[in-house]
Structure 1
Amino acid sequence: MHAAMSYASTVTEQLPTAVHPIAGVATSITAFVGRALRGPVDEPVSIASFAQFERLFGGLWEDSALGFAVRDFFLNGGAKAVIVRLYHAPAPVDGVVRSHAILRAGALTLQARDPGTWGNALQVRVDHELLSGDPDSFNLSVRDSATGQVELFRNLSLGASHPRRVDLVLRSISRLVAMSGALPLERPASHARAPEHGDVWECGAASNSGVMVLDHAADELPLTLADFIGSGKMARKAGLYALDRADLFNLLCLPPYLDNGGDLLDAGVHSALVAEAGAYCELRRAMLLVDPPPAWRSVDNALEGVAALGTSSRNAALFFPRLLQPVDQRGGRLTRLAPCGAVAGIIARTDQQRGVWKAPVGMDATLIGVPELSVPVSDSDNGMLNPLGINCLRSMPSAGRIVWGARTLHSDDPDGAQGKCIPVRRTALYIEESLVRGTRWVLCEQNDDQLWAKVRLCIHAFMAGLFRQGAFQGKAPHEAFFVSCGPETTTQDDVEHGVLNITVGFAPLKAGQFVLVHVQQAAGQVRSH
Structure 2
Amino acid sequence: MPEYLAPGVFVEEVSFRSKSIEGVSTTTTGFVGPARYGPLDLEPELITSLVEFERTYGGREKLDYADAGEIDNYLWHAVRAFFEEGGKRLYISRVFTPQDTEDLWSGHARGGLPGSPSPLAVFARFPGAAGDARVTFTFKVGQSVLVADGAVPGVRSLVHRDVVWIRAAAASASPAVSPGVADGYYLALLDPVNDTWVFSSTDDDIATADVQLAQLTPGAYELRIITVTVTVAPLSGSLVPFTSPDLPLDPDHERAGSPDGLFDYFSEAPASLARARTLPIVFRADDVAGFNTGVDLLQAFFNAAPAAFPALGLQAALEDNDSTPAARSVSLVISDGDDGVRPEADEYAGITTPDDRKTGLVAFEDLEDISIVAAPGSTFGYEDPGYGPTARTIVRALIRHAERMKYRIAVIDSGDDQAISEVRAMRAQLDSTYGALYYPWIRVLDPLTQREIHVPPSGFVAGIYARNDVNRAVYKAPANEVVNLALGFERFLNKSQQEVLNPEGINCFRYFEGRGMRLWGARTISSDPEWKYVNLRRYFAYVERSIDKGTQWSVFEPNGEKLWANVRRTVEDFLLNEWQNGALLGDKPDKAFFVKCDRSTMSQNDLDNGRLICLVGLAPLRPAEFVIFRIGQWTADRKV
**CA distance in structure 2 between the aligned counterparts of 1:504 and 1:167, rounded to whole angstroms:** 58
For residue 142 of structure 1, report the CA deviation from its aligned partner.
2.6
Distance 1:160 1:474 in 2: 72
1:479-518 paired onto structure 2 within 5 Å: 479-509=591-621
Q: Compared with structure 1, are the counterparts of its residues 92 and 14 closer, same or farther at alpha carbon in structure 2 (3 Å cutoff)?
A: closer
Q: CA deviation at 1:293?
A: 1.4
- Is the Cα contact below 8 Å between 1:111 and 1:179 reproduced in 2? yes
**1:462-509 CA distance string (max 9 Å, x none):** 111111211111122111111122223332222222222222222123
Question: What secondary structure sits across from 1:423 in the alignment?
Answer: helix
CA distance in 2, matches of 1:220, 1:423: 39
Q: Does 1:406 align with 2:522?
A: yes
C-alpha distance 378-17 of structure 1, shift in aligned 2 (>3 A): same
C-alpha contact 1:251 1:289 (8 A) present in aligned 2:
yes
Cα distance in 2 for partners of 1:291, 1:268 equals 15
What SS class does the counterpart of residue 482 from structure 2 fall into? Answer: coil
1:374 to 490, 502, 511: 490
**TM-score, normalised to structure 1's length?**
0.83
Aligned to 1:252: 373
Distance 1:40 1:139, change over 3 A: same
Residues 1:19 and 1:156: Cα distance change in structure 2 (over 3 Å): farther
User: Given residue 10 of structure 2, which amino acid in structure 1 is its aligned partner?
Assistant: V
Alpha-carbon distance in 2 for matches of 1:38, 1:276: 24
User: In structure 1, what is the equivalent of residue 454 of structure 2?
Assistant: 336
Shift of 1:16: 5.5
In structure 1, C-alpha distance between the alignment counterparts of 2:484 and 2:61, rounded to whole Å: 20
**AA of the residue aligned to 2:497:** D
Displacement after TM superposition at 1:55 (Å) = 1.1
- Work out whether residues 103 and 110 of structure 1, in 8 Å CA contact, stay in contact via their aligned partners in 2: yes
TM-score of the aligned structures, taking structure 2 as reference length: 0.70
Tell me: CA distance 1:186–1:233, structure 2 relative to 1, closer, same or farther (3 Å): closer
Equivalent pair of 1:103/1:124 in contact (CA under 8 Å): no
- Is residue 227–residue 248 contact of structure 2 (8 Å, CA) maintained in 1? yes
* Structure with max Cα Rg: 2
Paired with 1:395 and 1:97, the residues of 2 have a C-alpha distance of: 48
Report whether the alignment pairs 1:139 with 2:138. no
Residue pairs, 1:264-343, within 5 angstroms: 270-284=391-405, 285-296=407-418, 298-308=419-429, 311-329=430-448, 331-343=449-461
- The match for 1:57 is 57
Query: Which residue of 525, 536, 540 corresponds with 1:428?
Result: 540
* Partner SS state of residue 242, structure 2: strand
Given that 2:139 and 2:329 are in contact with CA atoms closer than 8 Å, whether structure 1 keeps it comes out as no
Equivalent in the alignment of 1:75: 84
Question: Residue 130 and residue 487 in structure 1: after superposition, are their counterparts in 2 closer, same or farther (change >3 A)?
Answer: farther
2: CA distance, partners of 1:58 / 1:231: 24
Does residue 107 of structure 2 align to residue 99 of structure 1? Answer: yes
Post-superposition CA distance 1:146-198 (Å, at most 9, x none): 34512222242426361223344341335212332245223233675799xx9
Q: Which runs of 5+ in 2 are unaligned?
A: 1-5, 64-72, 144-156, 165-186, 188-225, 306-313, 623-640
1:177-221: CA deviation from partner (whole Å, max 9, x where unpaired) = 2332245223233675799xx996xx6x973322356xx434411
- The residue number in structure 2 matching 1:222 is 342
Q: CA deviation at 1:439?
A: 0.9
- Kindly tell me: are residues 233 and 388 of structure 1, through their superposed partners in 2, closer, same or farther at Cα, counting changes over 3 Å? farther
Q: Distance in 2 between matches of 1:267 and 1:75?
A: 30
Task: Give yes or no for the alignment of 1:237 onto 2:358.
Answer: yes
Q: More deviation in 250-259 or 76-85?
A: 250-259
Of residues 318, 330, 337, the one that matches 1:208 is: 330
Residue identity matched to 2:132: N
- Give yes or no for the alignment of 1:26 onto 2:10: no
Letter aligned with residue 376 of structure 2: P
Name the structure 2 match of 1:513.
none
1:449 correspondence with 2:561: yes
Paired residue type of 1:272:
T
Specify the alignment match of 1:517 in structure 2.
Answer: none
Q: Give the counterpart letter for 1:169 in structure 2.
A: Y
Aligned partners of 2:358 and 2:94: how far apart in 1? 13
* Rounded Cα–Cα distance in structure 1 between residues aligned with 2:589 and 2:382: 57
The residue type paired with residue 469 of structure 1 is N
Return closer, same or farther for 1:251/1:37 CA change in 2, 3 Å cut-off.
same
The AA in structure 2 aligned to 1:399 is R
2:265 aligned to 169, 184, 197, which one? 169
**5+ residue gaps, structure 1:** 1-6, 511-529
Confirm or deny: 8 A CA contact 1:125 1:142 kept in the other structure.
yes
The residue identity in structure 1 corresponding to 2:518 is: I
What letter corresponds to residue 348 of structure 1 in structure 2? A
Work out the percentage of aligned pairs sharing the same amino acid.
27
1:279/1:313 contact within 8 Å kept: no
| Aligned equivalent of 1:117 | 129
The structure whose RCO (Cα within 8 Å, separation 6+) is larger is: 2
State the one-letter code of the partner of 1:380: S
The alpha-carbon deviation at position 101 of structure 1 amounts to: 2.8
Deviations 1:212-258 (A, max 9, x none): 56xx4344111111212367679863222111132321111111236
Cα distance in 2 for partners of 1:317, 1:262 equals 19
CA distance in 2, matches of 1:410, 1:233: 34
Change (3 A) 1:9 1:179: farther
Change (3 A) 1:338 1:268: farther
In structure 2, distance between residues paired with 1:508 and 1:82: 30
RMSD across aligned positions (CA): 3.2
Cα shift at 1:291: 0.7
- Find the counterpart in structure 2 of residue 463 from structure 1: 575
- Is the Cα–Cα contact under 8 Å of residues 382 and 391 in structure 2 kept in the other structure? no
Alpha-carbon distance, 1:23 to partner = 1.1
Preserved contact between residue 105 and residue 124 of structure 1 (Cα < 8 Å): no
Amino acid at match of 1:154: D
What CA deviation, in whole Å up to 9, does each residue of 1:98-126 have, x standing for no partner? 33233546955443222223222141313
Measure how far apart 1:434 and its partner are: 0.8
Residue 374 of structure 2 aligns to which amino acid in structure 1? Answer: C
Classify the secondary structure of the residue corresponding to 1:428: helix
Asked if the contact 2:107–2:340 (Cα under 8 Å) also holds between the matched residues in 1, the reply is yes
In 2, Cα distance between equivalents of 1:421 and 1:92: 43
**SS, match of residue 209 in structure 1:** strand
CA distance in 1, matches of 2:594, 2:438: 34
* Alpha carbons of structure 1 residues 492 and 158: separation in structure 2 relative to 1, 3 Å: farther
In 1, Cα distance between equivalents of 2:399 and 2:542: 17
Distance 2:101 2:541 in 1: 45
Q: Helix, strand or coil for the counterpart of 1:402?
A: strand
Quote the offset at 1:316 in angstroms: 0.4
Sort the Cα spacing of 1:267 and 1:433 in 2 relative to 1 into closer, same or farther, 3 A: same
